[in-house]
Amino acid sequence: MKIVSNIKACGGQQIQFTHAASTLNCEMTCSIFLPQAAETEAVPVLYWLSGLTCNDQNFVTKAGAQKVANELGMAIVCPDTSPRGDNVADDPEGAWDFGLGAGFYVNATQSPWQEHYQMHDYVSQELPKHIAQHFNVDASNVSISGHSMGGHGALTVALTHPEKFKSVSAFAPIVSPLNCPWGEKALTNYLGGDRAQWQKYDACYLIEHANSTQLPILIDQGSKDSFLEEQLKPHLLEQAAQSASYPISLRYQEGYDHSYFFIASFIEEHLRFHHRFLSQ
Amino acid sequence: MKIVSNIKACGGQQIQFTHAASTLNCEMTCSIFLPQAAETEAVPVLYWLSGLTCNDQNFVTKAGAQKVANELGMAIVCPDTSPRGDNVADDPEGAWDFGLGAGFYVNATQSPWQEHYQMHDYVSQELPKHIAQHFNVDASNVSISGHSMGGHGALTVALTHPEKFKSVSAFAPIVSPLNCPWGEKALTNYLGGDRAQWQKYDACYLIEHANSTQLPILIDQGSKDSFLEEQLKPHLLEQAAQSASYPISLRYQEGYDHSYFFIASFIEEHLRFHHRFLSQ
């Protein structure tokens, strides 16, 4: 691991580092906020998964989360959104919704993507191990959140591994890649044409087929989000959760769009939501 | 005036607009945060002046100020840091510390700069009139703050026009352009070689020669700011204020650097500081 920068922020430390990610077969850049409490105790951890086109820095610079995270004594880990590097395959037309910056938190099975695009295993297995080895965190006290494609990532990772997380939340998540253009494009390429192989990365499917372990779930969705009707479709998750008797809290926030201003407006409530379950 | 964007943020509106700035002889982009309270009453205004290389967006996206500003019912106006456009002269070598993005909040007297670089008049005269005409603000209830070059701007504009402001604050300001390389370069070019002409843009000179109107002044300075010793030199302002019996609050914040993480760490305290005087 190589520390790129370590900057004091809101009483804690905002750290950016690189490490060799074996699941992704490339070097990855990642950021972590460590609250002051980490100087003396192993602190709970929130994983934050970002959306299309983002990297590890968007949340760090724009969400304004550090002050409350420091107050609550919570670390926040922000991975990148895809494998990176000159050797990593990208969309042949350089589209922003597939390839680099758009790993969709799946394990690709199709060529040429499967060599590097194993983001599900990276964020759910390898990165947590790396974080636990190098930083003063409580690896048994973990929650996860994300935005848009990262909201899809947070929901699917948590629903697949409910034993690893205390709670999950999302801002404007893609709730069903089986049922939106972004998902169709990404999963066709990463996973192939057999849609049965997509189900394990679909939050609606997963919540309908969840075992008895139910996680606390909080979702915020802006009512003026330009992607709401075509791509995000939170009502599908609401329906799936109802049919599975899986309680979720889905809130429509009047007038908010898809930007980081929306995240900055409600991140404090999400941190306090997770803190309730992380501190039990 | 043309509205570029209007995004809901923390209960208020984050607005970016362009307008023809006659003092600068070019079109300018500016941002304003309007708290929800502005829907029903004329709200107090904080002007924020950014530093070298910045534009109207740095504070808007990185400072995390909107939530507390909305709570306090305070508008925040963020102008650009220099005139802009293809016709505006720039440093011949494209340096980042002079020319575009580096107007230093002075009225240039030297060719070719004087045609556009009139940032002191723009931020102290033209922009406040424009804001008062187009937004629901209380033009008699105004404070000012800024960072680095913008901290120099906030201090010099407020000390030159103490009747216009209720309070002033700064993060890591350039306190004496007469006594640092950034100031020497900029003022030699904008104002010419006669250093007596620089004095009216030097916060140390201005505080030593202030009339009886004393403004509340709060300054935060990170102890690990890499520009502290060569460029910023806050002790010079402390000495000048002492010799003039002008009370200022200068705080060294242990371990903080020159970045927006430093600003995000203390902006809430600055907003609450200004609010005390704006609400009187």
Quick: pLDDT tens for B137-154.
999 999 999 999 999 999
Cα distances (angstroms) measured from residue B144 to each of A267, B147, B206: 28, 11, 16
- Tens digit of each residue's pLDDT (9 = 90 or more) over A236-250: 999 999 999 999 999
Q: What is the pLDDT of residues B44-73, one digit of tens each?
A: 999 999 999 999 999 999 999 999 999 999
Set A116, A147, A152, A258: catalytic member: A258
- Can you spell out the DSSP letters for B169-216? EEES----GGGSHHHHHHHHHHH-S-GGGGGGG-HHHHHHT--S----
Find which of A7, A58, A252, A258 to mutate to test the B interface (most B CBs within 10 Å of its CB): A7
Q: What is the pLDDT of residue B211?
A: 87
Q: Which residues from chain A sit within 8 angstroms of residue B63, using beta carbons? A: 64
CA atoms of A16 and A1, how far apart (whole Å) = 10
Residue B212 has pLDDT above 90, yes or no: no
Q: Rounded CA gap, A181 and A174, in Å?
A: 10
Residues of A in contact with B255 (CB under 8 A): 8
Question: Mean of the pLDDT values across residues B223-250?
Answer: 98
Q: What residues of chain A lie within 8 A of the CB of B261, using their CB?
A: 7-10, 14, 66
- Encoded tokens for B78: 């963020």
Residues 66-105 of A with CB under 8 A from B: 66-67
Residue A280 pLDDT > 80:
no
Q: What average pLDDT does the segment B83-97 reach? A: 94
At residue A212, the pLDDT reads: 83
Q: Which residues is B32 bridged to in the sheet?
A: B15, B77
pLDDT in tens, A134-146: 999 999 999 999 9
Q: Is it the case that residue B260 has pLDDT exceeding 80? A: yes
Residue A225 has pLDDT above 90, yes or no: yes
State the pLDDT confidence band at A210, using cuts at 50, 70 and 90: very high
Is residue A279's pLDDT more than 90?
no
Are A250 and A219 in contact by the 8 Å Cβ rule? The answer is yes
Tell me which chain B residue has its CA closest to the CA of residue A15: B261
Confidence of residue B95 (pLDDT cuts 50, 70, 90): very high
Domain count, chain A: 1
Report the DSSP pairing between strands B26-34 and B75-79: antiparallel
Chain A CA closest to residue B10: A265
| B172 contacts in chain A (CB < 8 Å) | none
pLDDT given for residue A70 in this prediction = 98
Active-site amino acid positions of B: 148, 225, 258
pLDDT averaged over every residue in chain A: 97
Residue B236: Cβ within 10 Å count:
17
Judge whether A148 counts as a catalytic residue. yes
* pLDDT at residue B149, rounded to an integer: 98
Q: Measured between CB atoms, does B36 come within 8 Å of chain A? A: no
The mean pLDDT value for A6-24 works out to 98
In this prediction, residues A12-25 reach a mean pLDDT of 98
Q: What is the mean pLDDT of residues B204-228?
A: 96
Residue B280 scores a pLDDT above 80: no
Phi-psi region of B28 (alpha: psi -120 to 50; beta: other; left: phi over 0): beta
For chain B, say whether A199 makes contact (Cβ under 8 Å).
no
Residue B140, sorted as left (phi over 0), alpha (psi -120 to 50) or beta, turns out to be alpha
**Residue A131 and residue A137 in contact, taking contact as beta carbons nearer than 8 Å:** yes
pLDDT beyond 80 at A278: yes
| pLDDT at site B279 | 79
ipTM: 0.94
CB of B8 less than 8 A from some CB of A? yes
DSSP letter string over B214-261? ---EEEEEETT-TTIIIII-HHHHHHHHHHTT---EEEEETT--SSHH
pLDDT for residue B81 is more than 80: yes
Contacts of A14 in chain B (CB under 8 A): 261
Q: Which among B63, B264, B268 has the least Cβ separation from residue A9? A: B264
* Residues in chain A, overall count: 280
A61: nearest Cα among B57, B205, B48: B57
DSSP tag of A45: E
pLDDT score, position A36: 98
**Which pair of tokens denotes residue A45?**
């951890």
CA distances from B49 to A253, B82, B89, B261 (A): 32, 11, 21, 17
Q: Do B261 and A62 touch (CB under 8 A)?
A: no
Q: Report the percent of chain A where pLDDT is more than 90.
A: 98
CA distance A174 to A237: 10
- Chains A, B: CB pairs < 8 Å: 65
CATH number at residue B174: 3.40.50.1820
pTM score, whole prediction: 0.96
Mean pLDDT of B240-252: 97
